[in-house]
Chain A
């Protein structure tokens, strides 16, 4: 069996998996609707907090420990119905096209801001989920995409860096500039990058000493030149295949997310690196969209997973960082996971990272750079 047979047969959808397939459905959704979001009345917030009925949970694929579904259903009177999306943009397209009825969604921070500005999110009532305010690590409150914590509660968080096979790459790269040099040198043709416009352009900007979110045309022009120079050495631009290809030994280095890096390192000799220059720090957050049929059930879910014992079950499954206070997780979570710096980077490393806060103008410039990168 070849490694690609394995890829096809074992295709485990990663957090942001299978974007090509998502394309068709998102396009259909995009064709269907204009963008006037009907200002649905926010559904009445239940008092007391005893939720019943169904929770329609619209989420990334494979992003919840299956155990949690079972215990949640057993411990509450709510049963979970699942639906999945493959990218933030698909989620946005669905909601903008008028899809309603979802009780709980998990957009990434920048998308929380976009959805909130488009009046597609309900304001949250923190009194309905006491565990959240009690247990959250204060550094995950008042984040720039939602400064008043009005629309979102962090689910988990991660970083964008790079990973390499320690048995193939002997130079121990620790920075973006080393990643670029090695990619253009000895490992030409064995390097993959994410199919993500903000991630690739932002990381390159950071390498050059600029902000991940720079809107400066001259700075972005330098970024473009770097990427066009890198392009001939790139094996593939993909958010779905790099993990398997790294495990198969066909790819020596890849620009990617820490959860995938941890998954690769769990199977083969490999290391995930947060580059010295910095990079992206992202948060995926719970939100309740307008038109939710059963917001009480969504509050019940958030309250439930903000219990440290329940949260540990999630973190051990996803390998993405938990936003709960660290002391609360000690003893609950597998000590090896808690000590894993890929899952929980230390504070001095985190201080170098920036969240994605790209503006519409920046998106427009980035789109053209990305096209030029791909056309090169």
Chain B
């Protein structure tokens, strides 16, 4: 296409591209490409190199190609931790979706001051995540007003055990990643033509059927994008288990951190990181397939 002469002499040579939009010069992508090469691909390469190296002494790395680190990972202990992490990410994503979808739906359909509501969703990002997580220590303290209210509602017992349990970890991750779920779903619902729902109801669908047949499919790409944005960081979750979970339950992120910071076994930690990256890549590929299929459906 690009090598063919322009169809009409009046069309400018640069910036035209047949069926597509205007074409921009390729060098505009250069800063981004360089950035990725330097700060994403290069560290990834170092990680890959470490993962097939061997630790000698306390933390020296010998670059002799071997797969010992990966075979050490074949261990029920690490399998258990990995499954527990998958569970955290899957259940956490589901909970975030259950809370995030109604919120996004409300803002997109009935919200009166949408920009203000969206701003409120984003506001927490203005504060360091570490500080917000520490703040939850207060909110989850059995002596804090949170539990007075819950006790008054008969939703909590006299001595609720939440802090330093996996419940606290789940509350923490749902809180942390909720905006990443709400925003893409909102973006999908915002573009939706609500008269389609009305039309479906006029033609005899009940509200539930109309939701299932019209709203849900149209919100689909937003749900998938939001779930992915939430699921992936939850797989590498580090902070919430340490602070809110009392560091009692170990997840993959903590296990990797332990290799780098405590045991100083960078090669073993790198091998773990490579496995997690591989799993995430599979998830992203599934996502791409899912989205392209749903887009084919939509058109």
Contacts and interface: CB of A to CB of B under 8 A. Distances in A.
Interface of A: 2-5, 7-8, 19-23, 26-27, 30-31, 34-35, 87, 89-90, 92-93, 96, 114, 117-118, 189, 195, 197, 231, 234-238, 360, 363-364, 366-368, 370-372, 374-375
Given A89-B261, A364-B263, A374-B248, A5 B138 contact: yes
B229 interface: no
Contacts of B144: 2, 4
Given A117-B57, A375-B250, 8 more contacts: A5-B138, A8-B135, A20-B243, A27-B261, A236-B247, A364-B263, A370-B258, A371-B81
Interface string B66-106: 00000000000110110010000000000000000000000
Contacts of B239: 20
A196 B255 CA distance: 14
A27 to B, nearest CB: 6
Contact of A2 (B61, B143, B164, B259): B143
B58 interface: yes
A370 B59 contact: no
B18 interface: no
Contacts of A197: 262-263
A195 B247 contact: yes
B58 A117 contact: yes
Contacts of A374: 247-250, 254
Contacts of A366: 263
Contacts of A90: 261
A27 B263 contact: no
B187 to A, nearest CB: 30
B266 interface: yes
B236 to A, nearest CB: 12
B287 interface: no
A35 B59 contact: yes
A30 B263 CA distance: 13
Nearest to B61: A35
Interface of B: 43, 46-47, 55-61, 77-78, 80-81, 84, 130, 134-135, 137-138, 141, 143-144, 161, 164, 238-239, 242-243, 246-250, 254-255, 257-266
Given A35-B59, A92-B59, A363 B257 contact: no
Task: Report whether over half of chain A's contact residues are helix, strand or loop; otherwise say mixed.
Answer: helix
B255 A360 contact: no
A87 B264 CA distance: 12
A30 B81 contact: no
A357 B239 CA distance: 30
B264 A23 contact: no
Given A3-B141, A90-B261, A117-B57, A30 B247 contact: no
Contacts of A238: 246-247
A89 B246 contact: no
A87 B141 contact: no
A234 B85 CA distance: 21
A11 to B, nearest CB: 8
A184 to B, nearest CB: 15
B86 to A, nearest CB: 14
A363 B258 CA distance: 12
Given A236-B248, A367-B265, A374-B254, A27 B58 contact: no
Contact of A372 (B59, B77, B164): B77
Contacts of B78: 371
Contacts of A30: 260, 266
Contacts of B61: 34-35
A231 B164 CA distance: 13
A309 B266 CA distance: 44
A150 B231 CA distance: 52
Contacts of A27: 257, 260-261
Contacts of B60: 35, 118
